[in-house]
A and B are shown apart, each in its own frame.
Chain A
Amino acid sequence: MPTLTLDGRTLSVADGTTVLKAALEAGVSIPHLCWHPAFVPEGSCRLCLVEVEGLPKLELACSTVVREGMNVKTATPAVRESRRRVLEFLLAEHPVDCPICDKAGECRLQDYYQEYGLTEGVYREAKERKAKKVAIGERLLLDRERCVLCTRCVRFLKDVTGTRELGVFERGAHSEVGILEGKPVASAYAGNLVDLCPVGAITDTSFRFRTRTWFLSARPTVCPLCARGCSIWVDFHPGFPRRPGSAGVYRVRPRTDEAVNGPWICDRGRYGYLDLHRRRLPFIYWNRGGQRVEMSREKILALVGEKAKSLTARNQGGKFGLVLNSNLTVEEFKVVRQDLLPRLPGARLWFADPPGGEDDGFLLRAERTVNRRGASGLGLDLAPFGSTDIGQGLTVLVVLSPFVGPTDTAAGLGRALASVETKVLVSPVETGVEGLFDFVIPSALPSEKAGTFVDGQGRSRLFGPALQLCGGAWSEGDFLSSLAAEISRAS
């Protein structure tokens, strides 16, 4: 545990800690562009130079390991001057097109410029023109004028994904990041390049020009798309300043969590939200001969509650079927376990989950829901819903799952359900099977709920609501406890 003096403060740090890490831990900001906690120091941006007592030149904070008794000064005139001069070089060739740059507001170059108070350009030569819209991946555009050649993107694809699609071509001031002809970035983690880029050089076509970053609010939640349960930020626009259609989700980003996903997420998790808003169900409705007849919560509750009650009264609880999915929260499973099932003795329970995929050996797990362990931990039987005889002997079927899909089972599902008298679908989004059900209830997305998931590693993951509940939606937990209350109400 070497001890160092940092700007007059005495700090003890772990062996092998670099000056930059020690400073960050102590809350001292040292500007840096090329350094990133996930990579070995590159030392190329030259912004993090600091004064180390006894050494003739300024030293790199990112790569200098703390030695016992080291005296580091991060804010001396020489250090500030050095930062200013390096920034001057970076800005000399930078287009300074912040007004149309997606990164503006969260751009390090902008932040440092403000901090180091450059007021006017000192160099008078013309800037080099470079390509501003190079497609380097399905959703990625590269702006070479904005690029500061920190090579974080290159190193991510080399050291993290190992796919090596990006490289630095040419040399000197002509150096540029690029792909080989016809070999775009194809990594399933490509979206991370946008977060990694400290400036606006790599932008995401799904975000490009849609809003200004400062209008967005970031809320933490947990990604439900596989058993990893990556910690994420959901960036949404709360609707101010008012502009038609401005409210909504604009981005999903990784929320660094060393125990779960580190600083990354996969593109499935990142872009999974993209079409959700178009698929949201508008209101509770009754399917009357292809007509959607809007219903109130009270009416649908009374209807389902009545059916359930009459079944249990006749000791025919076995004719009530409930289908759940393992992206419901632990709290929702508790409602099922403790409030609903005891009031429906003999009721049958299934789980409708998406089919498993491949474990990609990095973040994405084979299990494509997050909370199976939350369900099994409460003793719920995870019997899969899907065999063709499911409808047999059922009078009422309530399906709480968006994963009953219109795929190969759709026709079979229709036949299987044909004999069921009352079929209710509770889902946050349309999946194409709505027509098979008598009643459809819009529910909440996981990001609109608070609760707990137990992820694939068995960790309890508490989260609050990242988003407001979509208009008309009824959270599954609320629906389930209301139904339980309705059933138990004395008739």
Chain B
Amino acid sequence: MAEAKTFARALGGEGGWSVEAYLQAGGYRAARKALGEMTPAAVLDEVKKANLRGRGGAGFPAGLKWGFVPAKTDKPKYLCVNADEGEPGTFKDRYILGHDPHLLIEGTLIAAFAVGIHRAFVYIRGEYENIARRLEAALAEAYERAFLGPDVFGSGFALDLRVHRGAGSYICGEETALLESLEGKRGHPRLKPPFPASVGLFGAPTVINNVETLANVPGIILNGAAWFTDQGLPTDGGTRLFGVSGAVARPGVYELPVGTTLRDIIFTHAGGMLPGRRLKAVIPGGLSSPILRADELDLPMCCDALVRAGSMLGSGAVIVIDDRTPILDVLLRVARFYAHESCGQCTPCRLGTAWIRKVVERMASGGGRPGDVDELARLASGVKGRTLCPMGDAAAMPVLGIIQKFRPELEGATCRP
């Protein structure tokens, strides 16, 4: 079942990002089918049937999300493509954006058609400067061939799609902070409700989807929902781009069916551990997903199984940690990152992440004291579940996870001579 791949065509291929290459490989057939032969409701229905789970981190079904947008509104509706790929360890969307930009454009086009949207934005991470240029070049090609614009394929459907570059803040990957930033404001998350589906960009109904999520849409439309669910699991179909990094022989992005085990990903596909290293721990879905121990490698990589294991699939970014890495070093990275990226708007995240960093930095510089681990646990649990946006949980969960799985090692570290 690993044969039918969505992304394999373009990944790694030089020049595959041009519209010619994309058309040659059958590109834009799905969009033509959707706009020419299907109703928006039928498109929406197909995506719902495919149970396409969001690839950005939360794993929310895309079809459901689209369905929340009110059909009748006197405001314009917007689609925002979340390309602010900032979760540490995550580097999958950049492959789509850079190597297969037309796949994203086509997916965006179909999504916009399904929800009745005529204006869309790609909010792309500021550091992806070259990739943004390539995406803009692809947009120009698409406009030139009327794949975008006032009359797509001559069907009468209009879609305006633009690129907006972020300024380097992690929090702008949070969907409401993204909207604020896109509106030209400071990237502070908004209070929910109202949810973006009813009050989003410029106060109008808005859909926000991850790049990889939208890139899966053409395949579903062209081949049907069953084709998609056949590839992965019935509740969590398709393939995913797993970005494997850390102490493996062949780090990189691997497209594998949802449900592939961690062991398979690391040892079959990513070439196993670096010579002489042993696997100690894996962060399975980006830095905010709680850490797993070496004895948990047989977990199938799907949203639900990882939640059951107390972690999450997140962005599918697999960070492999070897036995030479002290777990305190991992904790230090975690603590520094979230303290640095907290937007500062709400109390627990602003102060909690900063205090976690203070404690961990002291521990890491040899000043550990008995009781530090308890203090860390207290700090992290004080943040969890009490913040304005999901970043509080994203900062607290990995700390709690490391404490839960590696408490003896941490406590040993606090008593270093």
Query: Which A residues contact B (CB, under 8 angstroms)?
Result: 41-47, 49, 57-58, 60, 63, 82, 85-86, 88-90, 92-93, 122-126, 128, 148-149, 168, 170-175
Known: A172-B343, A173-B350. Contact between A123 and B388, CB under 8 A? no
Extra A-B contacts (4), CB below 8 Å, given A46-B388, A173-B344: A45-B346, A60-B191, A122-B375, A172-B341
Task: Report the minimal beta-carbon distance from A406 to chain B, rounded to whole angstroms.
Answer: 51
Task: Report the minimal beta-carbon distance from B48 to chain A, rounded to whole angstroms.
Answer: 25
Which chain B residues (338-361) contact chain A, with CB distance < 8 Å? 339-348, 350-355, 358-359
**Minimum CB distance partner of A174 in chain B:** B344
Asked whether B186 is an interface residue with its Cβ less than 8 Å from the other chain, the reply is yes
Task: Report the minimal beta-carbon distance from B358 to chain A, rounded to whole angstroms.
Answer: 4
For the residues of A in contact with B, the DSSP-based class is loop
Number of B residues, CB within 8 Å of A: 31
Contact with A along B353-392 (1 / 0, CB 8 A): 1110011001000000000000100110110011110000
In the complex, chain A residues whose CB is within 8 Å of the CB of B353:
172-173
Candidates A46, A92, A122, A171; contact of B346 at CB < 8 Å? A46
Distance of A288 Cα from B362 Cα, bound (Å) = 80
Candidates B186, B350, B385; contact of A172 at CB < 8 Å? B350
In the complex, chain B residues whose CB is within 8 Å of the CB of A122:
375, 378
Distance of A115 Cα from B352 Cα, bound (Å) = 22
Known: A122-B378, A123-B355, A173-B353. Contact between A44 and B385, CB under 8 A? no
Task: Report the minimal beta-carbon distance from A124 to chain B, rounded to whole angstroms.
Answer: 7
Candidates B186, B347, B378; contact of A44 at CB < 8 Å? B347
* Number of A-B residue pairs having CB atoms within 8 Å of each other in the complex: 92
Contact with A along B384-402 (1 / 0, CB 8 A): 0111100000000000000
In the complex, chain B residues whose CB is within 8 Å of the CB of A49:
386
Q: Is the CB of A89 within 8 A of B348?
A: yes
Can you identify 16 A-B contacts, CB atoms within 8 angstroms? A44-B388, A46-B348, A46-B388, A86-B347, A89-B347, A92-B355, A122-B378, A128-B354, A148-B347, A168-B186, A171-B342, A171-B344, A172-B353, A173-B353, A173-B354, A175-B344
Distance of A90 Cα from B345 Cα, bound (Å) = 13
In the complex, chain A residues whose CB is within 8 Å of the CB of B351:
89-90, 92-93, 173
**Minimum CB distance partner of A62 in chain B:** B191
Candidates A125, A128, A149, A172; contact of B359 at CB < 8 Å? A125
Candidates A46, A90, A93, A170; contact of B386 at CB < 8 Å? A46
Q: Is the CB of A41 within 8 A of B191?
A: yes
Distance of A148 Cα from B362 Cα, bound (Å) = 25
**Minimum CB distance partner of B344 in chain A:** A175
For the residues of B in contact with A, the DSSP-based class is helix
Known: A123-B355, A172-B340, A173-B353. Contact between A43 and B362, CB under 8 A? no
Q: Is the CB of A149 within 8 A of B350?
A: yes
Query: Which B residues contact A (CB, under 8 angstroms)?
Result: 169, 186, 191, 339-348, 350-355, 358-359, 362, 375, 378-379, 381-382, 385-388
Known: A44-B347, A86-B347. Contact between A173 and B386, CB under 8 A? no
Q: Is the CB of A44 within 8 A of B345?
A: yes
Known: A43-B191, A58-B385. Contact between A170 and B344, CB under 8 A? yes
Q: Is the CB of B344 within 8 A of A172?
A: yes
Distance of A331 Cα from B375 Cα, bound (Å) = 67
In the complex, chain A residues whose CB is within 8 Å of the CB of B341:
172
Question: Which of A42, A58, A63, A125 has most B Cβ within 10 Å?
Answer: A125
4 residue pairs, one from A and one from B, having the closest CB atoms = A175-B344, A173-B354, A89-B351, A125-B358
Distance of A88 Cα from B362 Cα, bound (Å) = 20
Q: Is the CB of A45 within 8 A of B375?
A: no
**Minimum CB distance partner of A148 in chain B:** B347
**Minimum CB distance partner of B378 in chain A:** A122
Q: Is the CB of A85 within 8 A of B348?
A: yes
Task: Report the minimal beta-carbon distance from A155 to chain B, rounded to whole angstroms.
Answer: 12
In the complex, chain A residues whose CB is within 8 Å of the CB of B340:
172
In the complex, chain B residues whose CB is within 8 Å of the CB of A168:
186, 344
Distance of A173 Cα from B348 Cα, bound (Å) = 10
Known: A89-B352, A92-B355. Contact between A173 and B342, CB under 8 A? yes
In the complex, chain B residues whose CB is within 8 Å of the CB of A42:
191
In the complex, chain A residues whose CB is within 8 Å of the CB of B354:
93, 128, 172-173
Task: Report the minimal beta-carbon distance from B366 to chain A, rounded to whole angstroms.
Answer: 15
Q: Is the CB of B343 within 8 A of A43?
A: no
In the complex, chain B residues whose CB is within 8 Å of the CB of A44:
345-347, 388
**Minimum CB distance partner of A57 in chain B:** B385
**Minimum CB distance partner of A85 in chain B:** B382
Task: Report the minimal beta-carbon distance from A57 to chain B, rounded to whole angstroms.
Answer: 5
Candidates A46, A126, A174; contact of B387 at CB < 8 Å? A46
Q: Is the CB of B347 within 8 A of A125?
A: no
Question: Which of B191, B351, B358, B385 has most A Cβ within 10 Å?
Answer: B351
In the complex, chain B residues whose CB is within 8 Å of the CB of A124:
375
Task: Report the minimal beta-carbon distance from A50 to chain B, rounded to whole angstroms.
Answer: 12
In the complex, chain B residues whose CB is within 8 Å of the CB of A89:
347-348, 350-352, 355, 382
In the complex, chain A residues whose CB is within 8 Å of the CB of B352:
89
Task: Report the minimal beta-carbon distance from B129 to chain A, rounded to whole angstroms.
Answer: 22
Task: Report the minimal beta-carbon distance from A232 to chain B, rounded to whole angstroms.
Answer: 33
**Minimum CB distance partner of A94 in chain B:** B351
Task: Report the minimal beta-carbon distance from B21 to chain A, rounded to whole angstroms.
Answer: 41
Known: A42-B191, A44-B346, A45-B347. Contact between A86 and B355, CB under 8 A? no
**Minimum CB distance partner of B187 in chain A:** A171
Q: Is the CB of B350 within 8 A of A43?
A: no
**Minimum CB distance partner of A90 in chain B:** B347
Question: Which of A47, A49, A124, A126 has most B Cβ within 10 Å?
Answer: A124
Distance of A125 Cα from B350 Cα, bound (Å) = 16
